[in-house]
Amino acid sequence: MSNDSAIGIHDLSFATTEFVLPHTELAEHNGTEIGKYHVGIGQRSMSVPAADEDIVTMAAAAAAPLIARHGADLIRTVVLATESSIDQAKAAGVYVHSLLGLPSATRVVELKQACYGATAALQFAIGLVRRDPAQRVLVIASDVSKYELDSPGEATQGAAAVAMLVGADPALVRIEEPSGLFTADVMDFWRPNYREAALVDGQESIAAYLQAVEGSWKDYGEQGGRPLEEFAALCYHQPFTKMAYKAHRHLLNYCGYDPDKDAVERAIGRTTSYNTVIGNSYTASVYLGLASVLDQADDLTGRPVGFLSYGSGSVAEFFAGTVVPGYREHLRTAAHNEAVDRRRPLGYAEYRELHERSFPTDGGDHPTPSQTTGPFRLAGLSGHKRIYEKR
C-alpha cells in the first residue's frame, strides 16, 4: 500500500429527490408482508423523483455545496457517472457544468458501467490529479433506479446523486493502491436503449455479485492489499442493504472466517443508514455507504475503510481508503440528514402516476409540472431539448 500519493476524496455531498415512497405503502398495495421489505431486503423507503427532477438536477444539487465551499478555480475536469443517461451523445455533466456556472476551461465527460461507473470515475480522477496535483476533479454519481411496476425489483428502486471533490492532500479519505479488479460477461441486469426500466434476473444478479466479490478480493490480495481484519468498515454497493450483509458474510466465508453476526454488523451496520431510506441509487450507492459511515458518531481517524464497487454486467473493484485526521470538521451530516428528511411522502397512486410518466417524443413543447422545491429543475422538453432552470 503506497501512502505517498495522498490523493483522495476532499469533500463529499449528496442530494436525493423531492418525494419518498415508504415501503409500507407499496406493501399495502401488493399485499406483501412488510417484514420482507424491512428485514428481508433491509429497505424502509425509496426516493422518487418529481416530474421536474432527473439525474442532472440531482447532480447539480449534490455538487453545488462543494462549489460553494471550495470555489471552482481548481476544477478542470468533471466526470459524471450514470446508467440512467438522458442523452446518447451529450454528456449530462455539460448541463451540470452550466447550472453550476463552472469555467469554460473544463473537460466534461460521462462514464457508464452499471453501478460501477463512479468508481471508474474516482480512479480516473486520481490519475489526473497524480499528473497535476494542483488540479481537482469533480466526480459525480447520479442515478434513478427504475424497475417495472409490480416486479420483484420494484421494492429496490431509489434515486440519489453523490458529488465528490477529488484532489491531493484530501480532507476526508486518502484512496490507496492497490485495487482488486474483476470483469465477467454476464446478463444479470441490463437496460437496452429502448427501455426506461431495467431488466433483471434477480437470483442470477445476486450470484454474479457474490462471484465478483470473490474475484475482486482475490485480485486485491494478489496485488498486495490489506488483510480483511484491518478494515474498520466495508462499504459495499447496496442495491438493497441486505445485499451488503450477504456479500460480507460471503467474503468472510471465502477468507476462512466465521461469519459471526456481531462481526458482520460491526463492518456493515454503519454503512447502511442512507441506503435503507433512499433505495438503490446505482452508481451513487457505494458512496452513500461511505457518507453514512463517515457521518456516524464514532471516530474513524486513521482507520482503513474497504470499498466493494459492483456493476452488473459485470465489473467490480475492491480498494481501500484511509480516513484522514480532522475529517469530522468537513462532514455535511446535517445537510445529508436534511436531504433525506425534507422528502415529501407519496401515496401509492401518486407514485404510480410518476412512475408511468414519460415525455412525448414528438419534438413539441412539453413543460413539466412544477413539483420540486430543490435548487434546480427540469422545466420541460422543447424541440427535443431538455430545458433546465436554476432557482
Q: Which burial class, exposed, middle or buried, applies to 340 when counting CB atoms under 10 A from its CB (0-12, 13-18, 19+)?
A: middle
Which runs of E-coded beta strand occur in the chain? 7-15, 19-22, 45-48, 75-81, 107-111, 136-145, 158-168, 173-175, 180-183, 189-190, 199-200, 233-236, 304-311, 315-323, 344-345, 366-367, 376-382, 385-390
261 touching ligand HMG, by CB under 6 A: no
Number of residues that bind ligand HMG (CB under 6 A): 29
What residues form the annotated binding site? Answer: 147, 246, 280
Q: Which residue among the candidates 18, 25, 83, 110 is catalytic per the annotation?
A: 83
CB of 379 to ligand HMG, least distance (A): 29
Binding test (CB under 6 A) with ligand HMG, winner from 1, 28, 30, 36: 36
Residues 313-332 as x/- pattern, contact with ligand HMG by CB under 6 A: --------------------
- Measured CA to CA, the distance from residue 236 to residue 215 in angstroms comes to 14
Angle of CA points 79, 82, 87, to nearest 5°: 95
- Measured CA to CA, the distance from residue 294 to residue 14 in angstroms comes to 13
310 touching ligand HMG, by CB under 6 A: yes
**Which residue in 19, 273, 261 sits closest to 157, CA to CA?**
19
Candidate ranges 21-29, 198-206, 354-362, 367-375; the one touching ligand HMG (CB under 6 A)? 198-206
Quick one: how far is CA 47 from the chain centroid? 13
Quick one: how far is CA 178 from the chain centroid? 22
268 touching ligand HMG, by CB under 6 A: no
Residue with smaller CB distance to ligand HMG, 176 or 188:
188
10 touching ligand HMG, by CB under 6 A: no
What residues form the annotated binding site for (3S)-3-hydroxy-3-methylglutaryl-CoA? Answer: 147, 246, 280
Q: Which of residues 88-117 bind ligand HMG (CB under 6 A)?
A: 114-115
202 touching ligand HMG, by CB under 6 A: yes
**Which residue in 3, 50, 19 sits closest to 376, CA to CA?**
50
Annotation marks residue 97 as catalytic = no
- Measured CA to CA, the distance from residue 159 to residue 151 in angstroms comes to 18
Annotation marks residue 83 as catalytic = yes
Q: Which of residues 111-170 bind ligand HMG (CB under 6 A)?
A: 114-115, 152-153, 155-156
244 touching ligand HMG, by CB under 6 A: no
- Measured CA to CA, the distance from residue 189 to residue 199 in angstroms comes to 6
243 touching ligand HMG, by CB under 6 A: yes
Residue with smaller CB distance to ligand HMG, 238 or 372:
238
Q: Which residue among the candidates 23, 97, 237, 250 is catalytic per the annotation?
A: 237
> For residue 24, what is its C-alpha cell?
409500507
Binding test (CB under 6 A) with ligand HMG, winner from 83, 110, 176, 295: 83
Quick one: how far is CA 333 from the chain centroid? 17
**Cα dist. 370→275, 363, 365, 376, 377 in Å?**
27, 20, 15, 11, 8
Annotation marks residue 255 as catalytic = no
Look at residue 12 and give its three-state secondary structure.
strand
Binding test (CB under 6 A) with ligand HMG, winner from 48, 56, 159, 200: 200
Residue with smaller CB distance to ligand HMG, 128 or 200:
200
**Cα dist. 317→7, 206, 239, 268, 309 in Å?**
18, 16, 16, 18, 5
351 touching ligand HMG, by CB under 6 A: no
- Measured CA to CA, the distance from residue 231 to residue 115 in angstroms comes to 23
In the bound state, the residue with its beta carbon closest to ligand HMG is 40
> Is residue 50 a contact partner of residue 371, using CB atoms and an 8 Å limit?
yes
Look at residue 138 and give its three-state secondary structure.
strand
Residue with smaller CB distance to ligand HMG, 200 or 233:
200
Residue with smaller CB distance to ligand HMG, 67 or 244:
244
Residue with smaller CB distance to ligand HMG, 97 or 250:
250
List residues near ligand HMG by CB under 6 A.
33, 35-36, 39-41, 83, 114-115, 152-153, 155-156, 188-189, 200, 202, 205-206, 209, 237, 239-240, 243, 280, 282, 310-312
**Positions marked catalytic:** 83, 115, 237
